A = this chain, B = another copy of it.
Amino acid sequence: MINVGVIGYGYWGPNLVRNFIENPTTNVLYVCDIDESRLKALKGKNPQIKTTTHYKDLLKDSNVKLVAISTPVSTHYKLAYDALRAGKHVLIEKPMTSNTSHAEKLIELAEKQNLMLFVDHTFIYTGAVRRIKEFLSSGEIGELYYFDSIRVNLGLFQHDVNVIWDLAPHDFSIMDYLIDEKPVFVSAIGVSRVHEKIEDMAYIAVKFQDGLIAHFHVNWVSPVKIRRIIIGGSKKMIVFDDLSPDEKVKVYDKGVTLLDAPKDKIYKNLIQYRIGDMYAPRIESTEALKVEVAHMVDCIKHKKKPLTDGKAGLRVVKLLGAAQRSLKKGGVFVKI
């Protein structure tokens, strides 16, 4: 049984607590939050869980083996640092930290302490993203052409971070998981309309070493809700529509090829379109966090490398940081 301490019981914390309770090999021993009313609500339903407003109480408890941190991003580094120092495995909410040097220090410390460092890139554990990864790995898609992501909606303004730091970690982590190539340059432009200084919509472009482009539209002020990723490939193309109840992933046997012809004589009739079947595989609907918790247990027990470790967290933070720098410079491409 792995005893877990959860720091932060706000928006996401209750999901962590529930999943650690439901997994038969984990147990929630301690929950910390600075808001006592939240702890009281938790205590009402789960009288067996210890609660505190001082996270160091939790770290002091030697029975706690894993600390899950779901607090505002600005506090992640300090909390994770202290938890690792206290000899705990650590799970950090995404984004991992607010800058890359913090992320690097945590990775270093975890290695030194021989402890596991997980970053909660939840989407990686959804049936949809795992299924897409299989398609990409199998070669069925062919060479990657582009990665186009839209995550727009009305709502959920954050008062402390802009829309990039709020929404893009989801899509960056998906891209990081799905694409093996290395992103090199990032450009971001955004608009602050509702609040003077916090961007509420942004476009981000990422260039990879081999010419691949990824593009992201994140938006808090859209009248319609869209969560869709299109992955263009030389053989097939994938559309991931996270809002579709039944057909989240569609694989299109569609493509275009140039027939062999003298390079200097490209005519329309040398273009060949392929419009074949479409296929929507059944997607495993297990809750992503449940899969993630089981994976964490497996990693801790068998000393396996986590799918979403500190390095994955760092890669996402690097992208966020570069996007932020580009944003400040009006959209110039900055090196990651």
Contact = CB atoms under 8 A, between A and B. Distances in A.
Nearest to A190: B213
Contacts of A257: 194
Contacts of A271: 157, 159, 194
Nearest to A154: B254
A213 to B, nearest CB: 5
Give the interface SS of chain A, mostly helix, strand, loop or mixed: strand
A32 to B, nearest CB: 22
Contacts of A220: 256
Contact of A203 (B205, B224, B243): B205
Given A146-B201, A203-B203, A332-B332, A234 B193 contact: yes
B331 A187 contact: yes
Contacts of A230: 222-224
A180 interface: no
Which of A221, A255, A332 has the most C-beta atoms of chain B within 10 angstroms of its own C-beta? A221
A224 to B, nearest CB: 6
Interface string A130-168: 000000000000010110100000110111000000000
A55 interface: no
Instruction: List 7 tightest A-B contacts by C-beta distance, closest first.
Output: A223-B237, A223-B252, A278-B280, A223-B254, A157-B271, A145-B193, A159-B266
A125 interface: no
A196 interface: yes
Interface in A184-237: 187, 189-191, 193-196, 198, 200-201, 203, 205, 207, 211-213, 215, 217, 220-225, 230, 232, 234, 237
A231 to B, nearest CB: 9
B191 A211 contact: yes
Given A155-B273, A277-B281, A280-B277, A245 B225 contact: yes
Given A159-B266, A256-B194, A332 B330 contact: no
Interface string A85-119: 00000000000000000000000000000000000
